[in-house]
Amino acid sequence: MANTFKVVNVAAPAATATFYTCPAATKTIVLQLQAANVGSGAHPINATVLDSTASVTTYISKAISVPLNAAIGLVAGKQVLEPGDIIAVWSDAVSQIDVTMSILEIT
């Protein structure tokens, strides 16, 4: 089994969009999921995880307001993803919130 640490970054879009998909034959542990407001004024951040096995989508965060020039953690503890699971993120405006995720992929 190989363990690979990775960082995934995106400027949150204004509509639901896939941020990360757990690859086939891989388990992923989300170590950190952070949202930073780099825009103007406060903006909400939304994040969901799709459990591809159960076909169920649940919120990690829903419309949490991120103050101007501040950052918040969206995952308390660890989040485990199985092959095909998807994390999606979005805000209310384009390029106002930067999202960073630190992960460990186990193959």
pLDDT higher than 80, residue 6: yes
pLDDT higher than 80, residue 106: yes
pLDDT higher than 90, residue 1: no
Q: Which two tokens stand for residue 3?
A: 């363990």
The pLDDT tens digits for 33-88 are 999 999 999 999 999 999 999 999 999 999 999 999 999 999 989 999 999 999 99
Which one, of 87, 91, 81, 103, lies nearest residue 19 by Cα? 87
Beta bridge partners of 36: 71, 98
Is the whole model's pTM more than 0.95, yes or no? no
The pLDDT tens digits for 93-104 are 999 999 999 999
